[in-house]
């Protein structure tokens, strides 16, 4: 996917989420906001890391790119403020409106001005390559986000897991032992039978 189509797809996704935010109420509103925040953070990250640096140098896109960085900062500050809230108060909803207006303005400027100028400043190959790089970075970020969020859960489970794993190991060892020495009546078989019983507790 080329850079423009990738970013446009992100824009449409966020627009859809903003319309969901308007119709949602109570805690559902907060959950939609969390999704918007995640999408915008991912989107601004790939733009700032890959797309904007490529557009900073060409004369045609230089000024608009610097403006875009500033607009991102405003959006990030608002996201930070809003994420402190526990419920959608009137003030929070006013901030949500300002956030939406800022994002809409930024999207409009990107799609109607920046992309057009970028198309003139960069080659088709560059635009395609930027799209691929942003796609890869997005996947990498999403993977690391999923990892860190599941880290806590797995840490909580690890104690009980390791216990059951060792029990399972004991069981396997015991059954192997008793299986290979099934005909003998040595003390080893007795021991393995014993440990087998123990592990079944």
Positions that interact with Fe ion (CB under 5 A) = 47
> Helix H segments across 47-123?
52-56, 59-82, 90-109, 115-121
By Cβ distance, which residue is nearest to Fe ion? 47
Write down the least CB distance from residue 107 to Fe ion, Å.
7
Residue 83's φ and ψ, nearest 5 degrees, are -75, -10
- Please state, in angstroms and rounded to a whole number, the distance separating the CA atoms of residues 49 and 74: 17
Q: Quick one: 21 or 107, whose CB is closer to Fe ion?
A: 107
Write down the least CB distance from residue 173 to Fe ion, Å.
58
Question: What string of DSSP letters covers 112-128?
Answer: IIIHHHHHHHS-HHHHH
Q: Quick one: 68 or 82, whose CB is closer to Fe ion?
A: 68
Q: Tell the burial category of 155 from Cβ atoms under 10 Å away from its Cβ (0-12, 13-18, 19+).
A: exposed
Write down the least CB distance from residue 48 to Fe ion, Å.
8
Q: Quick one: 69 or 181, whose CB is closer to Fe ion?
A: 69
Q: Quick one: 48 or 91, whose CB is closer to Fe ion?
A: 48
Write down the least CB distance from residue 23 to Fe ion, Å.
25
């Amino acid at each position: 996917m080329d850079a423009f189509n990738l970013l446009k797809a992100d824009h449409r996704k966020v627009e859809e989420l903003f319309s969901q935010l308007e119709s949602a109420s109570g805690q559902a509103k907060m959950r939609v906001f969390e999704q918007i925040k995640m999408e915008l953070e991912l989107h601004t990250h790939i733009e700032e890391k890959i797309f904007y640096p490529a557009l900073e140098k060409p004369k045609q896109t230089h000024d608009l790119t610097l403006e875009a960085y500033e607009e991102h900062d405003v959006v990030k500050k608002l996201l930070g403020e809003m994420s402190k809230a526990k419920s959608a108060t009137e003030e929070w909803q006013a901030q949500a409106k300002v956030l939406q207006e800022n994002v809409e303005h930024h999207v409009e400027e990107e799609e109607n001005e920046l992309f057009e100028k970028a198309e003139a400043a960069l080659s088709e190959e560059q635009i395609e390559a930027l799209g691929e790089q942003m796609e890869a970075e997005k996947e990498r970020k999403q993977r690391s986000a999923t990892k860190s969020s599941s880290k806590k859960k797995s840490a909580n489970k690890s104690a009980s897991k390791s216990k059951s794993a060792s029990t399972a190991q004991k069981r396997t060892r015991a059954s192997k032992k008793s299986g290979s020495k099934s005909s003998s009546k040595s003390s080893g078989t007795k021991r393995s039978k014993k440990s087998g019983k123990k592990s079944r507790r």
